[in-house]
C-alpha cells in the first residue's frame, strides 16, 4: 500500500524535492526519521528537499521504499518518455539492475499499465 496516491494532471509543476517533502509529510515522517530509514544524515534529506542535492539511484530506491511511494509520484511533472527514441538506453539500464531493483521497475511498469487500462 502506498502512502501517496498517484495524481496526474493539474497545472502545478513540482520538483523532485517538492515531491519528496510532500511524500515525507504525508507519511508523517520527520527529515530525521526518513534519514535514519535511509541510513543517511538529516542534512542530506534537507538538501534533496531544497533542491541543493540530487540523490543517487541507490538512494532514490531507499527513499521510494521508505516512503512506500512509487517512483512516478516523484517525477510525474517531468515524465517525457519516447519509447521509440529511448528504448535502447532503457533496455541497457535495466540490464544493469539488481534483482530487487528489477522487481521494483517491473512493479512500476505494471502499475502504469493498470492505469492505462482504467
- Whichever domain contains 9, its CATH number is 1.10.260.40
Confidence of residue 5 (pLDDT cuts 50, 70, 90): very low
Query: What mean pLDDT, rounded, does the chain reach?
Result: 80
* 41 and 97 both lie in a single domain: no
**Residue 49 is part of which domain span?**
1-79
With a threshold of 0.75, does the pTM exceed it?
no
* 36 and 86 both lie in a single domain: no
Name the percent of the chain lying above pLDDT 90: 41
* All three cell numbers of 37: 530509514
The per-residue pLDDT for range 18-66, each reduced to its tens digit, is 899 999 999 999 999 999 999 999 999 999 999 899 999 999 999 999 9
d(CA 105, CA 112): 11
Nearest to 108 by CA among 54, 74, 59, 71: 71
* 73 and 17 both lie in a single domain: yes
Nearest to 46 by CA among 21, 13, 19, 75: 21
| Number of domains the chain is built from | 2
* 72 and 25 both lie in a single domain: yes
Rg of the chain taking only CA atoms, in angstroms: 15
* 75 and 87 both lie in a single domain: no
Amino acid at each position: 500500500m502506498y502512502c501517496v496516491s498517484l495524481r496526474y494532471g493539474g497545472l502545478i509543476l513540482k520538483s523532485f524535492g517538492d515531491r519528496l517533502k510532500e511524500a515525507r509529510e504525508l507519511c508523517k515522517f520527520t527529515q530525521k526519521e526518513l534519514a535514519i530509514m535511509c541510513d543517511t544524515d538529516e542534512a542530506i534529506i534537507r538538501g534533496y528537499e531544497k533542491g541543493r542535492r540530487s540523490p543517487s539511484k541507490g538512494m532514490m530506491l531507499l527513499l521510494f521504499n521508505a516512503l512506500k511511494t512509487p517512483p512516478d509520484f516523484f517525477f510525474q511533472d517531468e515524465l517525457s518518455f519516447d519509447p521509440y527514441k529511448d528504448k535502447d538506453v532503457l533496455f541497457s539500464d535495466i540490464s544493469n539492475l539488481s534483482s530487487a531493483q528489477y522487481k521494483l521497475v517491473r512493479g512500476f511498469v505494471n502499475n502504469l499499465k493498470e492505469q492505462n487500462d482504467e
